[in-house]
Amino acid sequence: MQGFNVDTSHFLAGAVLVCSFALLYQARLFALLNVFAVQSMMLALAVGWQAHVQQAGHLYITAALALVMKGMIIPGALRRIVQNMKIHRTIETVVSVNLAMLAGVGLTILSIMVVFPIARMAGGLAREDLAFALTIILIGMLVMITRRNAISQIIGFMSLENGLILAATGAKGMPLVVEVSVASSVLIAFFVFGIFIFRIREHFDSVDVDQLSAKRGDVE
């Protein structure tokens, strides 16, 4: 039974990681939003499984928050923002997709090299899930760096936060107050980002960060 629990945990964490690589691959905003929604749903399953394995009832709340907020509400709201503001739906990238995917593989190797020696005394469940989580965090940062569109950078930020949740729950969970505060901060950040994007579009008619930098130079 223990082996089944570990294998299932690794499978679900691996599914979240695969979605991170899928985020790197996407070139269309709607596809990016759909992949993020799937990633958040897989995160909800991973956290729910950890709640079952650890007998930690408060983790079910975390799983529900991830499913409802990040799997449904936030992607749906961002999709409406894209439609209503008629934002250009092709994502401009700093580097090619192939190079970004190669960098993602390198980050995966780096995460394993960093986590395994440090967490040698931890059980296989915690050690390997932490390696998955660190990779998801780093790839979230990579999405933010390699995408020029502001909305895709927001998705990268929230994907990074998914990795933080996975890391915390894999390490025997977080106190409920921390989980609720994290979920609340993400919701607040989403509304702030939404207002920010609306103001950018209203004043500059673009959400491409390169174009915004150029216009800032013109102003200066």
**How does pLDDT run across 98-118, given as a tens digit for each residue?**
899 999 999 999 998 888 777
Q: How far is CA 65 from CA 38, 136, 153, in A?
A: 14, 19, 22
pLDDT at 219: 45
Give the other-Cβ count within 10 Å of 45's Cβ: 19
Judge contact between 86 and 205, C-beta under 8 A: no
pLDDT at 97: 86
Q: What angle do CA 141, 143, 148 make, to 5 degrees?
A: 120
| Whole-angstrom distance, CA of residue 214 vs CA of residue 193 | 21
What is the pLDDT confidence band of residue 16, given thresholds at 50, 70 and 90?
very high
* 205 vs 188 pLDDT, higher one: 188
pLDDT at 119: 59
The string of pLDDT tens digits covering residues 64-105 is 888 988 899 888 888 887 887 776 677 878 888 889 999 999
Mean pLDDT of 28-45: 93
* Of the candidates 143, 154, 159, 156, the residue with the CA atom closest to the CA atom of residue 192: 154
* Phi, psi (deg, nearest 5) at residue 212: -65, -40
Sign of the alpha-carbon torsion through 113, 117, 119, 120: positive
Global pTM reads 0.81
